A and B are shown apart, each in its own frame.
Chain A
Amino acid sequence: MSSSGESAVAPWSPVATWVVRGLGIAAAVALAATVWLGLWVTPPDQVQHNLVRLVYVHPPIAWVALYLAFGVAAVSSALWLWPRTRSRFWDRLAASAVEVGTVFTALTLVTGSIWGRPTWGLWWTWDARLTSTALLLVLLLGYLAVRRVPADPDSRARRCAVVALVAAVDVPIVHFSVDWWHTLHQGATVLNANLSPTIHGSMAWTLLLGFVAFTLLFAWMLAIRYRVEVLSEHVQDTELDVALHERWAEGTDPVPAEPGGALV
């Protein structure tokens, strides 16, 4: 809680400001290049024809949702639970990664569904990959719900860290679901068992650029979201301080005398 003399949270350092600004500009440029290459430069696929253009967007979004966002959330939560490394930094970072990851996970399902309709003839099916990804979205929403339950910061951080680690069990299930259960979703294009991508030439480079672009975007969003977390904690603490001081002042006000009588 902030003391009554403290007036503002420290602003970002000049280096941090430039790093975040650089990440934002690099992400915007890389995303624009991915769209340009994906929609106008790369050739249609022999099998999927023009629908392959959705592949430059869907797997990179899934990469951010499953591996980056959830990786950051799970590692940060573990580091918060570990007494030697416990720090508010890890709790804030996990919460920030989960919120950004929730947006990317929802988009993974939506873009996959848009690709699945013309390819499979279905918007949705209870395929192992799709179902485990939908479960992950539910778990992420559960984390965000637990985060909103009123509690002191340490209790809230502990609950959220446990939820994040429980939810992390689903990530390897999502990844290996296409190998464990041979349902409708095809196998991995890049991160397969042999680590030999099944996509080549300009299509492979565009897909790679998509991975880089969405990774940069995730890093930028994570930095901004982390700052929002720090600022909102500070504002809440300050408001609580003001409220407590007002209550204290009310309690120490002299009691007014009753008309014609003595002080009660």
Chain B
Amino acid sequence: MSYIDAGYAIAFGVLAAYAALLWRRRQRLERSASRPQGHSAP
């Protein structure tokens, strides 16, 4: 793997992973926030 390939792979890989993480956090919190109060999971 060349330095160029490594640079592009790391940059876009890390950004894609962070974007996916943000998206999953948002989805999970949207579900928690829409749950009626007092019925939260134990």
A residues whose Cβ falls under 8 Å from a Cβ of B: 2, 4, 6-9, 11, 31, 35, 38-39, 50-51, 53-54, 57-58, 61, 103, 106-107, 110-111, 114-115, 117-118, 217, 220-221, 224-225, 227-228, 231-232, 234-235, 238-239, 241-242, 245
Contacts and interface: CB of A to CB of B under 8 A. Distances in A.
Given A7-B36, A114-B10, A117-B3, A235 B19 contact: no
Interface of B: 2-4, 6-8, 10-12, 14-15, 18-19, 22-23, 25-26, 29-30, 32-38, 40
B6 A114 contact: yes
Nearest to A96: B22
**Closest CB pairs A-B (n = 6):** A231-B29, A114-B7, A9-B33, A54-B7, A8-B34, A224-B22
A31 B12 contact: yes
Given A57-B8, A232-B29, 19 more contacts: A2-B37, A4-B38, A7-B34, A7-B36, A8-B34, A9-B33, A11-B30, A35-B12, A38-B8, A50-B2, A51-B4, A54-B3, A115-B3, A118-B3, A217-B15, A224-B22, A224-B26, A228-B25, A231-B29
